[in-house]
Structure 1
C-alpha cells in the first residue's frame, strides 16, 4: 500500500512549457515518489549521464532548477499525462499576447 502524501502538486506546474511555473523541491520529490522511482531509477528513466541520482537530489534541494523536459517526463511517468501537449494555434495566440504586453507595457 502506497503512503498518501501531504504534498499537492500545484496546477500551474502541470501545464505546457509556455504557461509552466517551476515546481518546488517538495513537488519534485512527490512526483518522483508518485512515479514509483528512487533517485537512481529517475536518473535512468531520464537517461541522465550521472545515474547515481545526484542530479535528482540537486533538483529536490533547489541547488539547480529542473528542466521542463525532465519535469514533463517525470509527470507523465507519475500518471499526470502529457502536460506538454498544446496546439500550434494556442502557441501563436500566446506569443502574440506576450508581444502586445511588451509593446504596450
Structure 2
C-alpha cells in the first residue's frame, strides 16, 4: 500500500511558506514511486496490478493496520506469481493520436 503523510506536508508549510500552495499538487505526484516498485516487481517476473479503490477501504485499512489518520491511502499494489495465460493485449492508440508536441518546431505552431 502507498500512503502520503499529510502531517509531513503540514510541517513543511510552516518552514517553507512560499511553497505551501504547491504541496497539495506535489502530494499527488506519488505515482512515480508506484511505477518504480511496479517495474522492479515485474523485472523479477511477478505480475502486478495497481488498485485505486480508496477511500472506500481507507477506514478498514486504518483500523486493521493501525495507520495514522494523517496518512492518506493512495493505492494498493497487488503482486504475485502469474498463473494461467495472460489476457489479450489491449488495442494501442497510435502515437500520432496520443501525443502532441507544441513549440517552435511543431507544425501546429
Query: Considering the TM-score relative to the shorter chain, is it more than 0.5?
Result: no
- With the shorter chain as reference, the TM-score category is under 0.3
Larger RCO, structure (CA 8 Å, separation 6 or more): 2
Looking at CA atoms only, which structure, 1 or 2, has the larger radius of gyration?
2
Q: With structure 1 as the length reference, what TM-score do the two structures score?
A: 0.26
Of Structure 1 and Structure 2, the greater strand share is in: 2
Q: With structure 2 as the length reference, what TM-score do the two structures score?
A: 0.25
